[in-house]
Amino acid sequence: MEQGIVPVSNLPNEDLRLTELKRLDIMDKDLGEDPRYSSLTEVASYLTECPYSAINILGSTLQRCKIIFGLSKEEEQDFERDEPRDLTICQFSLKTPHQPLIIENLLEDERTKHKYSRPESSSIRFYAGAPLISSRGFSLGVLCVVDDSPKSLKHNQIEGLRILADQIVSLIENDHDAEQSSENEAKTEEEDAQTFGKYYSSATILFADFVGFTSKVERLEPGELLATLNTFFKGFDKIVQKYKVRKVKTIGDAYMCVGGISEKRSNHASEVCKVALDMLRFVDASNMQHEVLGKERWELRIGIHSGALIAGISGNSFDIWGDAVNIAARLESSSDPGKIHISEKTRDYLEGVGQLTPRGNIALKGKGNWSTFFLETLN
């Protein structure tokens, strides 16, 4: 521990992250004279009602402040742009790079209380940072806001900070691409064949599968089984298209789709939840026909989670990757027949428009305990 801060260590993919910083040449780039960046820090300050906002880039040993809003001209002249990374708060975002870093009271958090309780320390008491994640999924730094008093942020303020961080990264990457000469942009055929996924800081993933499918395989004729599955999946495809959600793939009896990818709409959670509700209605309607014909019922269970992911082309097909995808799959496998099992994160994105039944803390395999809900209806 140096000056009261325990530095982060053993960061996964740190070499690749530093390579991404070098690719974008952002450590040494001057953003201070560009009003586009300074205006975004100003908006971040107003949005969160915090007096100070900054864009900080995290190198291997150094944190470099590119823009800071809220200082007087005299204060800004005395402000040190470079600081050892091991002494900063922003470094902690590298441990969980796809989540906001929020410390409501620096004097109470174990990571910061020893430093900020010292008389000679800075007077800031609140910190919130949204990671700056490149399109390749690597953390460049943080858009952060601070305040001299402890406080908390509402969901829409945290979400707004994330959107501003995405805008900053978009500016950085667009400026970088514009600066590249046609000679540097020339690619070999081998390079063309290599596909990079694109990072999305917020999306909503749905997994659905049929309960007891293995036993149905044993009982039903293959032709009837495939015909029934095909009917369900075609119906699901139409529902997905209706809400402009993107189908990912089917795996056996499982169906997977994602919202927030095609158009980056902010209402992706509610749209995916509408898909889920329509899926259950479609299965119920199909079961009425099955009962008339003397056939057995099919029961669907669904899991939904919202978070960051990578989307791109794998081979010749569209696919998504990331911890958020795994969590959605765990929510589906721990759901009940005829139920839509959603995470607390998805609940937050719904912003009160849904009727939910709390399920309490559920142990998700390999993910620990999660506060989850069953979605009943949408307003």
CATH number of the structural domain spanning residue 268: 3.30.70.1230
Say yes or no: 72 and 154 in one domain.
yes
Query: Does residue 359 register a pLDDT over 80?
Result: yes
Segment 328-338 shows an average pLDDT of 96
Say yes or no: 23 and 98 in one domain.
yes
Strands 300-314 and 340-343: parallel
Say yes or no: 31 and 121 in one domain.
yes
Task: Characterize 267-297 residue by residue with b for buried, 16 or more Cβ atoms within 10 angstroms of its Cβ, and e for exposed.
Answer: bbbbbbbbbbbbbbebbeebbeeeeeeeeee
Say yes or no: 146 and 215 in one domain.
no
| Model pTM score | 0.83
Predicted pLDDT of residue 188: 42
Average pLDDT, the chain: 90
Say yes or no: 173 and 202 in one domain.
no
Say yes or no: 166 and 205 in one domain.
no
Which residue among 144, 178, 212 closes a domain?
178
Say yes or no: 210 and 253 in one domain.
yes
Query: Does residue 189 register a pLDDT over 90?
Result: no
Say yes or no: 276 and 353 in one domain.
yes
Say yes or no: 236 and 136 in one domain.
no
pLDDT bracket for residue 183 (50, 70, 90)? very low
pLDDT bracket for residue 192 (50, 70, 90)? very low
Choose the weakest-confidence range: 52-61, 145-154, 316-325.
316-325
Segment 259-278 shows an average pLDDT of 89
- Phi, psi (5° rounding) for residue 202? -150, 125
Range of the domain at 166: 14-178
pLDDT bracket for residue 75 (50, 70, 90)? confident
CATH number of the structural domain spanning residue 154: 3.30.450.40
Say yes or no: 165 and 212 in one domain.
no
CA 315 to chain centre: 24
Predicted pLDDT of residue 182: 45
Say yes or no: 164 and 206 in one domain.
no
Q: Domain for residue 184, yes or no?
A: no
Domain count, the chain: 2
Say yes or no: 99 and 152 in one domain.
yes
